[in-house]
Amino acid sequence: TALQKYNRMAPKQNPPWPVLEYLEIVSYATLSEFMLLKYLRHDILAKPWTVSANRQVAIKFFKIQRAKEEVLQLNVEVQRLHMWIDNKDRTLFESYNATKVNSPLLAAELYLLYAEQHRINNVHCNCLCCIYKLEGYTGQIYSMLGDKSVGSNHNENDDGDLLLKMS
């Protein structure tokens, strides 16, 4: 194969070329790493960037830099998500309040929808609160002005009581 021919000739070159293994070639991420082989006759192997370990360190360095940028962006997105959840919760509850006098059956359905969404949103908000407590979190901590969660003063039994009142 071409790899075997290359490996037979590599040590005979001046300076000696590196012997390659199939797994190493398969791990090459881009065609640019194969371009090194094309220019070996120009003593390119003496360059520090031709050493695989150096390239791997550089790749990891840039991945870490990108991860730091992502953390900064996520610090903003966490607060936005929390705000969106609270606004959605409030909107659903206000819709229920607006319809309960004129349209009690619709209000009952809206309340059931609100109660289900509110329970789910509480799970998400608890996760967001855990993110706020992380050591690396540097964003602002979102908190609503006034009450923490609209309509959260109802008991679990309120759903059933409300349905009984509506029927």
Domain ranges of the chain: 2-50, 72-166
**Range name among 23-32, 80-89, 106-115 with the lowest pLDDT average:** 23-32
101 by DSSP, 3-state: which? coil
Q: Token pair 């289900």 is at which residue?
A: 116
* 72-109 burial code (b ≥16 CB/10 A, e <16): eeebeebbebbeebbeebbebbebbeebbeeeeeebbe
Closest by alpha carbon to 127, among 92, 70, 81? 81
Q: How much is the pTM?
A: 0.57
Distance CA 137, CA 61 (A): 21
Residues 6+ apart with CB under 8 A from 48: 54
Q: Which has the higher per-residue pLDDT, 155 or 82?
A: 82
Residue 71: pLDDT band with limits 50, 70, 90: very high
Mean pLDDT, the chain, whole residue set: 80
